[in-house]
Structure 1
């Protein structure tokens, strides 16, 4: 297998994948919009490229494996906007293209279960943009697109512990609210499995096995730290940013059976309790 990967939008999730692939001899080029992050990316064994300052045309033609983490903006998908024609020409030479989407494409199901066959009925602008972007990527002839719909991502330095420690965490209570989540390491393992067993046109949900109310996660984090459980605040009374409040507009439980069945994926952290415990252990080592 040709171990070259172009990672467009080399952020939190892509870095977790790179941490698995670089020791296996992969050559990875990762793009970033921040010049300040170039050295940090290089220190992980990934070749950094500043984009959109740099032209990626040659890289799309050269690299057989591509990971797209860049989110759509107000003008649509930023990669397709600039390089749609390039990808149209390069498609037949690409072995695997992974597009990181979100389970927000399913919209609100009032706590009910969704899977990959559930109609896409997003209720937020972000979800609607993702539906459009998914379709745009899938419309390119001969491009071996693999769509990964990710639940709420957490992992090292991205979780509830900091807010619990500094006393700003709250348990926001909204009747019937439930979210699915996934540890970033489990996303990385699933992406690696897909790279090893490509299936053009595949769509996979990626989440753990235990959808849960957000207040339960905050409460458990406090217990792990040996700190008081943060106060409960009714959703209607909570002071929240519009972005934070929008997440509560949707409640659903996401199934992950398909990726388990087709790729043999097994989450290392099947619930938030095991994931949080691992994060805390990592900090304490």
Structure 2
């Protein structure tokens, strides 16, 4: 990636993985809402800055030199907090800016009854959070067009990786096998989010891209597969109608679709983990499924 400076708004789980793929000699800055996270950012090679929706002088000075901008901050009822605070600066005071990446969600498609969707499928979001995402996507794409800078919108499927996966849930006793006939979800390993970002940034590609695996699958199958690798009994099956779920969890099950990743592949990206089986096997074999710690030191159920 030919970058002199990378700025990340919202240097969370996915953005920190992306930072790990970037050249070590590139200046990299990222924001967080709490100083407690500064250590995590520094460990990832990111110089940390606080951002609570207000553009500080330090952020403004650093943005001015950035060639690549990654945005991983969710919009709220007041709109996109990054655009609210920094739209004018991005539009007029970032002369070196060459590429913008915006992390969104496949939730913008809404429910399609298990049918396949791609980037040309009309968005019909169900949840309020996805409605806000659609609007944020539109505003970022419009800004990019106005300033002549490619904007890549990455619509992410359910994210997992070290520290966030079915093994951790089984270890902690929180894994569940909810049975809702016909229900499937796509997933995406955090390494492929990072890889897709690096690929699109490195080639200066703009547009909308689904970042999802090859195989939408029933969630209970993922839990059972992970339990088999661990050598433990999977949790019992529970009919969806009988499950006690939070409103947010229940809303996820209200959307059923199969997400195509053909556009990202056509853009030249090759997935490291094309399905959940390959990803879970690698996490288990590498022993880094729990925040990189060796499984020999972890207590299994």
Same fold (TM over 0.5): yes
- Taking structure 1 as the reference length, the TM-score comes to 0.94
* Partner Cα separation in structure 2 for residue 251 and residue 185 of structure 1: 24
Q: Is residue 2:157 matched to residue 1:118? A: no
* Partner Cα separation in structure 2 for residue 3 and residue 125 of structure 1: 37
- Alignment coverage as a number of residue pairs: 282
Q: Quote the residue 1:18 is aligned against.
A: 19
Q: Is residue 2:275 matched to residue 1:271? A: yes
* Partner Cα separation in structure 2 for residue 166 and residue 132 of structure 1: 37
Q: How far off is 1:92 after superposition?
A: 5.7
| Paired residues of 2:7 and 2:29 also in contact (CA < 8 A) | yes
Matches within 5 A, 1:127-276: 127-140=130-143, 141-142=146-147, 143-200=149-206, 202-262=207-267, 264-276=268-280
Higher mean C-alpha displacement, 158-167 vs 231-240: 158-167
Q: Secondary structure of the equivalent of 1:10?
A: coil
Q: Deviations over 1:207-261 (max 9, x none)?
A: 1111101111111111111111211111111011111111111011111111111
| Paired residues of 1:22 and 1:45 also in contact (CA < 8 A) | no
| Paired residues of 1:179 and 1:252 also in contact (CA < 8 A) | yes
Q: Secondary structure of the equivalent of 1:21?
A: coil
* Partner Cα separation in structure 2 for residue 250 and residue 92 of structure 1: 41
Q: Quote the residue 1:94 is aligned against.
A: 97
CA RMSD in angstroms, aligned pairs only: 1.5
| Paired residues of 1:5 and 1:26 also in contact (CA < 8 A) | yes
Unaligned runs of 5+ in 2: 288-293, 296-301
| Paired residues of 1:16 and 1:185 also in contact (CA < 8 A) | yes
Q: Deviations over 1:76-103 (max 9, x none)?
A: 1110111122222136642000000111
